[in-house]
A and B are shown apart, each in its own frame.
Chain A
């Protein structure tokens, strides 16, 4: 049995019965939905059209949420359902980045990721899913895609059907008859913060506590939503209201009803963890290389300080990782209930091993048991792994096109080494010519990769939107400032040998620069709506 859904848009009247029946069956809290109906309008009066699309989990055959889930909370059932087990979930929210269809949410009561599970509890005893039962128009068809006789197979065979974002390679099993691109491809329409009969004022799901705290001012939830909402509209000038009116006149597709935005799920903790991890790993690596290649004079005392610093930043990294979980107490599940395909698991094991090596070397630093040169080599490899694995994790986040860059691991390595170089400068209080050359090379590489990642002709629409947001949109100021002050200025100083700034200030600037650009890199793609 290979279960799938089909929405027959010839019949769907956009009545939201499925939305509410699902809420009732699964007692889904307000603000979040397992299935919902989006309205998109196209054309100009009187040729205006309103399109309805029922959106939900696609029960993909190659589900990115299953791949990325570190604890197999998300998994396949034998009947083809992509199901979940809330007891396993650590609420890392990576599934919400991985799913290209925006199917998951954080349940504000249980603090775990949930989504449509095809009413697996009903399917098992032979009952149709609730949405199928309630639909006044029998527009939601479900059944066995492997059986030729099933209604769904017949419809897929005999009618023209479409799926959402087939290019993601997820093999979705939610088909649409008469699925118009304007309504299934969110990149075509502009998101908004108000719709024809609703308006979002507060965060939902993971962010619903902002509503609960009644914090009407300085509401971070608001801010996040605002950001997500404005993402598509690039925010060049403030009179974009007039632009909206122009857009309407031009008859472009526009979203006129949608479920509330779930906001940016990976916040500062994730940016910070990437940064602290880069420092921890980079410092170890650069200290090691400096010693091996004579880039800097590293005394054994300095080496110990470096080790301690790496350890410290590693611990902060872990603390940030744990803090970012909505189920922090289940942190150990990543290690103890591992799902090996998830890069979160691979990374966690890498960090743990790296931490073990650091511990060993620190003990040795005080006890001087033996020359553990080979451990340092292993440590360097693990540091490099720790620095770059997040790029592979981000690549598993299939929902975020901008993170699919092949250069990402290299960029993370470069960032780590720059951070490590900066660390070495701070620790040693000086900078050698060799290190200047190394750092200059890294900075040039860094800039080159920025240029490529932001302007590559191979960027998808969504990736391009993120790139535009960085180059000329809402993140252009911090981005260009950081490029100029923390990449170009150091380069100029390195090349010219000017001594206008103390080396340590330069190093701190470089560290801050890395934080800023990583933050932008992590944030911008999350502002692009997935559904």
Chain B
């Protein structure tokens, strides 16, 4: 053992003679560690926690904190955070994880602790801003909240009075809450919810929904034997940190990890079997696995016989067959006969033998197969919705639905809050969100909005964009700019955002909303077999409360006048209906004080008082449910949640048919399982729908079964002689989150550029010699010039470019996110032709933070999405992200970062894809199957075409 520091005689002498000042770290008086170590301070000391200041060490400088739980607001997972509020400065010093959070269990990804960067971002928007001059001219003036709320409320009042309900729309990027905004919108009576879902997860959602209504999977990775991912959940995605924890937990207990991805993601690099499938071929590979399981009789007969609507299939497709399970198996073996491993190899480029190996792992897993497809292939390809459907097929075959170690429907693991007031469903159907061409979409066709507006399908009086940046994140950003700046199409654009972004540049109001620790939200997500809630709270407000100070609105304690949506919506709705003529105010009356406007505390108090088990847990600690959540930050409502389809129900007056279905009033209401009458799944058959009658009813008779649709970027549609390749533009990094993390310096320094990944063979075919060479990537509507990253980590013939990077501002736009933002020049050349050129990369800048002066990178990447046309899948409505691109070496006058786009071409590509739809109305004149989920569900009457108000 080595000797600790001993001062020499000389030093001691110098110090005692006063020649040198004494450097003598005094012993501290905090209790020393005795019995081991803990990861967090005990929660009973959270309001009075003292630890040594890291920066002053070895001097024992004590810091006294009030530790306030909240949740992260970077990705959707809402992992637990603890804010360390320094009692001296009354500011947050740092964020750690919340050990009481059932999903994140005190651990976080890089984005959690980086929240402090976002809070302290010197360039964030501190005050409500109103535009001066032309929209997009970059001139802004500060206004008061009161002024902004009054003006916007007045406009909305007029619209609603004039029955222009479909011209009031709220468009959300990151929701981060449970039903709050939906309740507010319904209180306005409008069908005004628009989301980002169709550029995100609509493909997978449709695939899952067709099977069993629920549109997302909830895999139980920790207890699985085989984990099959068409995703990269060891680095990104919903719900990265909670899932990554449990995937590795499963693997440490012996689970095998199979990953499909044309790129070696970090996740793929951890896999036992990496299947670098050609993009779009995933369904073929999955069906090949299904075929092996069927052919070798490895399926779970017991599960399938009871829980699959095989009888519907036989009755509809093979009416002459006797309706027996064996006949079903016989028939589907024929259905999938072509999906041999060799066929899958041809389509995917992955060796047949590897596919067989993967299939073995899948079959061996039995009921312990956990799977996930969220975006990835489901979001990249025409027909991507079939990928999730085929993936889920493997769960059905192995009987791993809702089992321990299997995959449950999302809804089983997600909490639904009880609200103090539920407004009636709206009587409107807004065609801008749910157009008749896409009756089965999951959900709003949000990325077609510019084209719908251009086509004159509607106009918007008041358009809220909330944590939503379509100009940058969406495809076809220049078309967005065209409509956003057109005041006849969008009369008032209100951007609710913590930081400046490319969309907010074209707003009328930019209203600053809080980051993770500056706002209220209720969170609950299907991270694992459990049901939990977590409380995102404005920590300085909670600190003030603990300190005995009254706070009326959160903006009083946040930096500047940064507010939160929750309170903003209450105030806006209240003001909108100041004459009480719209019937809105009645939905904002306190449940505790008759006739008074509800406060945000009352809103959450009511919810928490109605969470099963929470009042009891709280009173055990002598707290009210609200105070419990303020103190602990999270609560587990159910600790495990398997087999919910097996819940016994007592409905009387049912008849049992020969397929174990209980029928009441012509509808299946329950299923017989093991002699019990159980609830089943919320589908028309109450079973897993292998055969979808809905698809047949809605003109998709060719897609009633899990199947393989050749993608729009299938090799057949690429011309290699013209250097056409597929671009995978969707991959995400472990450290960033869309355009939300641009103000986190610690994340920006880890990743700040997005070169095009290209295999050496492809690179040399194009004529590229080294990483860093420039490449021209031409899409159907334009091009961008990027650098290349020559790598063995990508499939030859596929190129990929990461998302998140390539942020920009024009010289006259307000500054923000400078750690990751380049300065560009945008030139309009007329006739829909746009050009963007790079003026400066990321530059050091002056701020209160000395780090901003020493930014050591310059490359801020290139904005690729703006060069993509829209590709709406005719069934799911998903934007099919993958792009057919032409690769070449840029000419001499084409520079790094150059972008050109023709929005007229973009509009004609939109029309081409629109042509592929099979529009409603469907049976009985329906706009959408009644049984399918819909955001902000209107009245049933509104579902009938021409029947809405």
B52 and A125 within 8 A (CB): yes
Contacting residues, chain A, for B241 (C-beta < 8 A): 136
Is B244 an interface position by the 8 A CB rule? yes
Distance between B345 CB and nearest chain A CB, rounded to angstroms: 12
- Tell me if A473 is interfacial: C-beta within 8 Å of chain B: no
A434 within 8 A of B: no
Known: A61-B2, A62-B2, A203-B856. A211 touches B749 (CB 8 A): no
A126 touches B36 (CB 8 A): yes
Q: Are B752 and A198 in contact (CB under 8 A)?
A: yes
Question: Which of A37-45, A408-416, A481-489, A500-508 is found at the contact surface with chain B?
Answer: A37-45
Q: Contact: B20 with A336, CB < 8 Å?
A: yes
CB–CB B274/A211 < 8 A: no
Other-chain residue from A80, A83, A256 in contact with B58 (beta carbon distance below 8 A): A83
Give chain B residues whose Cβ lies under 8 Å from the Cβ of A234. none
Q: Quick one: closest B residue to A200, CB to CB? A: B856
Number of chain A interface residues as a range? 35 or more
On A, residues with C-beta under 8 Å from B are 2, 10-11, 13-17, 19-21, 23-27, 29-31, 41, 43-46, 48-52, 61-63, 66, 72, 75-78, 80, 83, 85, 87-88, 108-109, 117, 119-128, 130, 132-139, 192, 194, 196-204, 208-209, 211-212, 214, 239, 241-242, 244-245, 248-249, 251, 256, 260, 333, 335-340
B146-154, B558-566, B766-774: which lies at the A interface?
B766-774
- Listed by A's residue number, 9 A-B pairs whose Cβ atoms lie within 8 Å are A13-B244, A14-B269, A15-B735, A29-B854, A31-B749, A46-B795, A76-B4, A133-B96, A209-B854
With A11-B252, A20-B747 in contact, is A194–B771 under 8 Å at CB?
Answer: yes
Q: Which 4 A-B pairs have the closest CB atoms?
A: A241-B770, A126-B33, A75-B5, A50-B269
Residue of A nearest to B794 (CB): A45
What are the residues of chain B within 8 A of A336 when measuring CB–CB? Answer: 10-11, 14, 19-20
Is B544's CB within 8 Å of the partner chain A?
no
* Partner of A76 from B3, B23, B95, B793 at Cβ < 8 Å: B3
Query: Is the Cβ of A88 less than 8 Å from the Cβ of B856?
Result: no
Structural contact, A125 and B32, CB atoms closer than 8 A:
yes
Q: A128 contacts which chain B residues (CB < 8 A)?
A: 37-39
List residues of chain A with CB within 8 A of the CB of B252: 10-11
List A contacts of B795 (CB < 8 A).
Answer: 45-46
Once A133-B97, A245-B790 are accepted as A-B contacts, the answer to whether A201 and B36 lie under 8 Å apart by CB is no
Cβ contacts under 8 Å, B95 to chain A: 24
**B802 interfacial contact with A, CB 8 Å:** yes
Contact among B20, B110, B770, B856 with A17 in the assembled complex (CB-CB below 8 Å): B110
Of chain B, the residue at the smallest CB distance from A80 is: B1
Q: What is the CB-to-nearest-CB distance from B180 to chain A, in angstroms, rounded to a whole number?
A: 28
Cβ-closest chain A residue relative to B269: A50
Q: Does B109 contact A (CB under 8 A)?
A: yes
Contact in complex: B54, A27 (CB < 8 Å) = yes
Chain A minimum-CB-distance residue to B99: A133
Is B627 in the interface zone, CB < 8 Å from A?
no
- How distant is the Cα of A29 from the Cα of B855 in the complex, in angstroms? 10
Closest CB in chain B relative to A500 CB, distance in Å: 48
Whether B276 is near chain A, meaning CB under 8 Å from some CB there, is yes
Could you say which residues of chain B place their CB within 8 Å of the CB of A241? 769-770, 773
Asked if B791 contacts A121 (CB within 8 A), the reply is no
By beta carbon, the residue of chain A nearest B27 is A124
Given contacts A31-B854, A121-B54, A128-B38, contact A17 B108 (CB under 8 A): yes
Determine if A248 and B760 form an interchain contact, defined as CB atoms under 8 angstroms apart: yes
* Inter-chain contacts of A117 with B (CB < 8 A): 57
Cβ contact within 8 Å between B764 and A29: no
Give, as a whole number of angstroms, the nearest-CB distance from A223 to chain B: 14
Q: Is B553 an interface residue (CB 8 A)?
A: no
Complex CA distance for A203 and B855, rounded to whole angstroms: 9
Q: Is B114 an interface residue (CB 8 A)?
A: yes
A31–B854 Cα distance when bound, in Å, is 8
Q: Report whether over half of chain B's contact residues are helix, strand or loop; otherwise say mixed.
A: loop
In the complex, which residue of chain A has the Cβ closest to the Cβ of B819?
A30
State whether the Cβ of B53 lies closer than 8 Å to any Cβ in chain A. yes
The stretch that binds A, out of B301-309, B830-838, B843-851, is B843-851
Q: Which residues of A contact B2 (CB under 8 A)?
A: 61-63, 66, 76
State the Cβ distance, B395 to closest chain A Cβ, in Å.
Answer: 24
Q: Is the CB of A124 within 8 A of B32?
A: yes
CA distance A298 to B749 in the complex (A): 62
**Nearest neighbor of B747 in chain A, beta-carbon distance:** A20
Q: At the interface, is chain A mostly helix, strand, loop or mixed?
A: loop
Q: A88-B23, A125-B30 are in contact. Are A134 and B734 (CB under 8 A)?
A: no
Q: A17 touching B33 by the CB < 8 A rule?
A: no
Q: Is the CB of A30 within 8 A of B8?
A: no
Q: Is the CB of A196 within 8 A of B789?
A: yes
Q: How far is the CB of A396 from chain B (nearest CB, A)?
A: 15
Q: Is B51 a contact partner of A125 (Cβ separation < 8 A)?
A: yes
0/1 string, B746-768, CB within 8 A of A gives 1: 11011111110101100110000
Chain B residues 785-815 with CB under 8 Å of chain A are 787, 789-796, 802, 805
CA distance A44 to B805 in the complex (A): 27
Residue of B nearest to A207 (CB): B856
With a CB–CB cut-off of 8 A, which chain A residues contact B763? 245
B109 touches A127 (CB 8 A): no
Q: Are A13 and B790 in contact (CB under 8 A)?
A: no
CA distance A21 to B669 in the complex (A): 51
Within 8 Å by CB of A136, from B14, B107, B745, lies B107
Q: Is the pair B30, A124 in contact by a Cβ cutoff of 8 Å?
A: yes
Q: Which residues of A contact B251 (CB under 8 A)?
A: 10
Known A125-B30, A125-B31; further 18 A-B contacts with Cβ < 8 A = A16-B734, A17-B109, A29-B851, A46-B350, A46-B795, A62-B2, A80-B1, A87-B23, A125-B28, A126-B38, A127-B40, A128-B39, A136-B107, A137-B248, A197-B750, A208-B854, A248-B792, A336-B10
- CB within 8 Å for A20 and B234 given contacts A135-B107, A201-B857: no
Q: Are A260 and B109 in contact (CB under 8 A)?
A: no
Query: How far does the alpha carbon of A197 sit from the alpha carbon of B802 in the complex, in Å?
Result: 9
- List, in ascending order, chain A residues with CB within 8 A of B11's CB: 336-338
Interface centre among A14, A119, A197 (most CB of B within 10 A): A197
Shortest CB-to-CB span from B427 to chain A, Å, is: 46
Chain B residues with Cβ below 8 Å from A109 are 850
Chain B neighbourhood of A214, CB < 8 A = 843-844
Output the least CB separation between B61 and chain A (Å): 9
Inter-chain contact B750/A198, CB cutoff 8 Å: yes
Give Cα A133 to B854, complex, Å: 29
Q: Which residue of A lies closest to B14 (CB)?
A: A336
A197–B751 contact, CB under 8 A? yes
- Judge whether B792 and A41 touch: CB under 8 Å: yes
- Shortest CB-to-CB span from A51 to chain B, Å, is 8
Residue pair A45, B792 in contact (C-beta under 8 Å): yes
- The CA-CA distance from A83 to B4 in the complex, in Å, is 10
Once A45-B792, A61-B2, A260-B856 are accepted as A-B contacts, the answer to whether A245 and B770 lie under 8 Å apart by CB is yes
Q: How far is the CA of A181 from the CA of B106 in the complex (A)?
A: 32
Convert B233-254 into 0s and 1s, putting 1 for each residue whose CB lies closer than 8 angstroms to a CB of A.
Answer: 0110000010011001001100
* Minimum Cβ distance to chain A for residue B630 (Å): 23
Q: Is the CB of A121 within 8 A of B53?
A: yes
Query: Taking CB as reference atom, which chain A residue is nearest B733?
Result: A197
Q: Residues of A contacting B60 with CB < 8 Å?
A: 121
CA distance A200 to B854 in the complex (A): 12
Residues of A within 8 A of B850 (CB): 29, 108-109
Taken residue by residue from 811 to 843, chain B's Cβ proximity to chain A (1 for < 8 Å, 0 otherwise) reads as 000000000000000000000000000000001
Contact: A126 with B790, CB < 8 Å?
no
Interface centre among A13, A87, A88 (most CB of B within 10 A): A13
The reply to whether B764 and A199 contact each other, CB–CB distance below 8 Å, is: no
In-complex Cβ contact of A48 among B770, B793, B854 (8 A):
B793
In the assembled complex, B116 has its CB within 8 A of some CB on chain A: yes
Assembled-state Cα–Cα distance A239/B735 (Å)? 34
Residues of A within 8 Å of B235, CB to CB, are 13-15
Q: B7 contacts the other chain (Cβ, under 8 Å)?
A: yes
Give the residues in chain A near B163, CB-CB below 8 Å: none
Nearest residue, chain B, Cβ from A18:
B110
Chain B residues within 8 Å of A125, by CB = 28, 30-33, 51-52
Cβ distance B102 to chain A, nearest Cβ, rounded Å: 15
